[in-house]
Amino acid sequence: MQHVKIKIYTTPTCPYCRKAKQYFRSLGLKFQEADVSRNPKELEIMYRKTHQYGVPVIEIGNQVIIGFDKNKIDRLLGIN
């Protein structure tokens, strides 16, 4: 199923970040994780894309999802 690049901007204390990572793992999908609490460069990249500092921010291909929106994730991945 892995056909797109997935990146998740996270922090260690974010429960929705954990849910998102857990969901991708349950689907057997690989993803890149960027901990914005420890990486100011990734925080800046995330802010430039979303104009906000809240996490999780999930990139699937060139689409950006703010928050853990399972329905939107499924739609972008082509899951019914």
Amino acid at site 58:
I
Cα separation of the two ends of the chain? 13
Q: Is residue 46 part of a domain?
A: yes
pLDDT digits (tens, 9 = 90+) for 20-51: 999 999 999 999 999 999 999 999 999 999 99
Both tokens of 9, joined, read: 């901007």
Q: Is residue 16 part of a domain?
A: yes
pTM of the full structure? 0.92
Query: What are the respective helix, strand and coil percentages of the chain, to the nearest 5?
Result: 40, 20, 40
- Domain of 37, CATH number, reads 3.40.30.10
Distance CA 43, CA 27 (A): 27
Q: Is residue 67 part of a domain?
A: yes
Q: Is residue 80 part of a domain?
A: no
Overall number of domains in the chain: 1
Q: Mean of the pLDDT values across residues 59-74? A: 96
Which residue range is the domain that position 68 belongs to? Answer: 6-75
Percentage of the chain exceeding pLDDT 90:
92
Contact between 33 and 58 under an 8 Å Cβ cutoff? The reply is: no
Q: Is residue 1 part of a domain?
A: no
